[in-house]
């Protein structure tokens, strides 16, 4: 969109349009950003000075506006990272009732040690987590925060029974769950820049951050490839300068345990050779049997065996294979699993007569 037309949206009558512009046009000229940062509507100012934007790079507000933005409750959290932090301002922000303001303060490079230690004990675990991630945090303080985050785990069925919880308890449990999720995915650039001291760290996120470095000698690479945590092993494999051998690649994929459900798996980045894929066709683990169809020349007898596999995910995977005989492919059209049947129907090698029958049955 031409910049001059886009700039007109900063004066649009609808504040939702102006707020969207503030969030998406992160490289807007300074006059436009000034209009948005001083907009009379709270939502527009909040969108223009936020802790998160829809695109990068995140904009930096003009220096002369920062004091005003810091004084405004709706822009305060977004302005913290841009302010010059004197002692009085830091103390005031440390007492702010807005959790997001304290989170941002906990990351500020000029945070006084006394306030850093205070925020380490903040009732909001996400605030404490940001102190945990600071390079200047004393190790005893870091260890205490880590233990607190991991020890404050609610019962497994807490979310299913959330209706029995009062609002404060529910909010605390949700924030704790978010802090634990952030801890699992935390990666620290300052650890990656100087990885050697953290290869044996007691914190998984530190070892994973170290594994992202390209400065590790082969013995340490090997150690991290054999780490007890799946995320560390996988991260090291993805950042290893040398190719991963098939045995290690298979082991890392076999033991891959993502923190949440994702489609990606290590074998996507570390393809296994045909002989390994054919061996996996009879593996006891159905998740590993799903890899066998990645061999384009998979023997027909193995393809037929996988088409009759008791696991529906294995059957669905083989249903796309070009070497699966038409007889077996046609049989999968009546599979008890709808996803298997749909995948078989989409295979271009399906006999034309079956294609016409499906189309006719659908009334097309």
Q: What residue ranges do the domains of the chain occupy? A: 1-83, 110-186, 187-268, 285-361
Residue 168 confidence (pLDDT): 74
More reliable by pLDDT, 260 or 274: 274
Give the whole-angstrom CA distance, residue 97 versus residue 324. 63
For 133-180, write each residue's pLDDT tens digit.
999 999 999 999 999 999 866 655 556 666 666 777 777 778 888 899
Using left for φ > 0, alpha for ψ between -120 and 50, and beta otherwise, residue 363 falls in left
pLDDT score of 318 more than 90 = yes
Residue 41 confidence (pLDDT): 98
For 37-68, write each residue's pLDDT tens digit.
999 999 999 999 999 999 999 999 999 999 99
Residue 158 confidence (pLDDT): 52
**DSSP code of residue 200:** T
**Mean pLDDT, rounded, for 343-361:** 93
Count of Cβ atoms closer than 10 Å to residue 331 Cβ: 16
Residue 172 confidence (pLDDT): 77
For 261-303, write each residue's pLDDT tens digit.
889 999 999 999 999 999 999 999 999 999 999 999 999 999 9
pLDDT score of 194 more than 90 = yes
Residue 242 confidence (pLDDT): 87
| % of residues, the chain, pLDDT over 70 | 96
Nearest to 307 by CA among 347, 274, 253, 271: 347
Tokens describing residue 71: 């004084």
Phi, psi (degrees; rounded to nearest 5) at 143? -65, -40
| % of residues, the chain, pLDDT over 90 | 88
pLDDT score of 326 more than 80 = yes
């Amino acid at each position: 969109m031409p910049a001059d037309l886009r700039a007109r949206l900063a004066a649009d009558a609808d504040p939702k349009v102006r707020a969207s512009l503030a969030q998406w046009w992160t490289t807007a000229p300074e006059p436009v950003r000034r209009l948005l940062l001083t907009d009379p509507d709270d939502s527009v100012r909040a969108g223009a000075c936020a802790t998160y934007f829809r695109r990068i790079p995140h904009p930096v507000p003009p220096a002369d506006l920062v004091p005003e933005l810091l004084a405004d409750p709706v822009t305060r959290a977004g302005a913290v990272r841009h302010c010059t932090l004197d002692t009085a301002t830091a103390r005031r922000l440390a007492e702010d009732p807005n959790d997001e303001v304290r989170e941002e303060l906990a990351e500020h490079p000029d945070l006084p040690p006394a306030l850093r230690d205070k925020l380490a004990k903040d009732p909001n675990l996400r605030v404490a987590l940001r102190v945990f991630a600071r390079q200047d945090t004393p190790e005893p303080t870091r260890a205490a925060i880590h233990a607190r985050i991991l020890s404050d785990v609610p019962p497994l069925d807490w979310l299913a029974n959330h209706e029995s919880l009062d609002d404060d308890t529910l909010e605390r449990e949700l924030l704790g769950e978010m802090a634990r999720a952030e801890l699992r995915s935390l990666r620290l650039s300052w650890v990656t820049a100087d990885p050697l001291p953290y290869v044996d760290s007691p914190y998984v996120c530190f070892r994973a951050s170290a594994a992202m470095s390209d400065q590790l000698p082969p013995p340490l690479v090997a150690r991290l490839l054999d780490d007890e945590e799946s995320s560390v092993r996988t991260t090291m494999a993805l950042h290893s300068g040398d190719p991963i051998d098939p045995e290690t690649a298979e082991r890392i994929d076999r033991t891959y345990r993502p923190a949440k459900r994702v489609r990606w798996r290590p074998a996507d980045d570390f393809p296994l050779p045909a002989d390994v894929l054919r061996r996996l066709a009879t593996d006891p683990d159905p998740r590993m049997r799903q890899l066998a169809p990645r061999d384009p020349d998979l023997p027909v007898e193995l393809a037929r065996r996988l088409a009759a596999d008791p696991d529906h995910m294995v059957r669905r995977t083989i249903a796309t294979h070009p070497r699966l005989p038409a007889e077996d492919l046609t049989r999968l059209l009546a599979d008890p699993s709808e996803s298997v049947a749909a995948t078989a129907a989409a295979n271009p090698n399906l006999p034309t007569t079956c294609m016409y029958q499906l189309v006719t049955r659908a009334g097309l």
